[in-house]
């Protein structure tokens, strides 16, 4: 009986030792599983973050590619929409008009004042018998000189601004014509570029734009405003030219 008891106790001890060993192994396995689950969660989170970054990058690439294609189309084709140029031209015309209004008012006021004073001088000459017309004339010379100077300055500025307004309007018409021509040429040539590379098409379109621009700029070479002066100044110049030619003749 004693020997059996010793064997049983020995077997129980071994079983407890094996049980403890198995419990330790189980606990270690559970820790490894927990670590693996944590790593799996981290990897999934990183994977989701990488996928989100990839989607954002793809969206950015798609947006930039669309913008690149739009810029290429704008560069390759002469713009048929000249809204920006028209808007800037309208702004410049409005600015020139506002600048010229005060000078135009000065010019009109001086001319009206000269006319009114001339009428008053005529009435005064008729009503007053003893008036010395030369005295009145000499006293009016400073006013006449100042009036001529103001008329000259105001006339030059108003004329220059009017010239700029006309030039801007002419440029808008010319650009509209060039746009129509370039669009028609591009549409007509579209069916004949199957055998050309993109680079060749780009170079041909660039050459077309430069030729159109050169033809457009020909209309403005040497076309500058030249102020001739008022009729009074022109008459003075004519008399001076004749006097200068008499000794030579």
Least confident of 33-37, 174-178, 225-229: 225-229
pLDDT attached to residue 20:
75
**Could you give the C-alpha distances from 58 to 50, 51, 65, 69, 187, in angstroms and in order?**
12, 10, 10, 16, 34
**Could you give the C-alpha distances from 205 to 70, 73, 152, 217, in angstroms and in order?**
16, 11, 49, 18
Determine the Cα–Cα distance for residues 178 and 169; give it in Å rounded to an integer: 14
pLDDT attached to residue 201:
67
Region 207-229 average pLDDT: 59
Determine the Cα–Cα distance for residues 80 and 38; give it in Å rounded to an integer: 62
Percent of the chain with pLDDT over 90: 0
pLDDT attached to residue 249:
44
Dihedral, CA atoms, 48, 52, 58, 63, nearest 10 degrees?
A: 170
pLDDT attached to residue 141:
76
Determine the Cα–Cα distance for residues 203 and 76; give it in Å rounded to an integer: 9
pLDDT in tens, 67-84: 877 776 665 555 545 566
Handedness of CA 26, 27, 32, 37 (dihedral sign): positive
Averaged pLDDT of the chain: 72
- Tokens (6 digits) for 177: 């014509």
- Residue 227's pLDDT band, with cuts at 50, 70 and 90, is very low
Residue ranges per structural domain of the chain: 1-76, 78-245
């Amino acid at each position: 009986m004693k020997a059996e008891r010793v064997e049983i106790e020995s077997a129980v001890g071994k079983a407890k030792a094996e049980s403890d060993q198995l419990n330790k192994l189980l606990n270690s396995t559970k820790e490894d599983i927990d670590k693996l689950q944590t790593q799996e969660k981290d990897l999934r989170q990183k994977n989701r973050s990488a996928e989100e970054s990839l989607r954002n990058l793809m969206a950015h690439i798609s947006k930039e590619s669309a913008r690149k294609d739009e810029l290429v189309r704008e560069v390759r084709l002469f713009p048929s929409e000249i809204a920006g140029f028209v808007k800037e031209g309208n702004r410049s015309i409005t600015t020139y008009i506002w600048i010229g209004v005060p000078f135009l008012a000065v010019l009109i006021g001086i001319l009206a004042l000269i006319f009114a004073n001339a009428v008053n001088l005529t009435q005064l000459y008729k009503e007053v018998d003893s008036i010395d017309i030369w005295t009145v004339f000499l006293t009016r010379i400073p006013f006449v000189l100042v009036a001529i100077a103001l008329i000259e300055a105001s006339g030059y500025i108003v004329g220059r601004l009017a010239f700029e307004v006309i030039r801007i309007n002419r440029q808008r018409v010319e650009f509209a014509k060039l746009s129509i021509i370039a669009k028609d040429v591009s549409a007509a040539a579209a069916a004949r570029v199957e055998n050309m590379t993109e680079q060749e098409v780009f170079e041909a379109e660039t050459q077309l734009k430069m030729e159109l621009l050169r033809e457009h700029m020909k209309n403005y070479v040497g076309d500058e405003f030249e102020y001739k002066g008022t009729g009074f100044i022109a008459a003075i110049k004519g008399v001076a030219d004749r006097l200068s030619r008499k000794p030579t003749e």
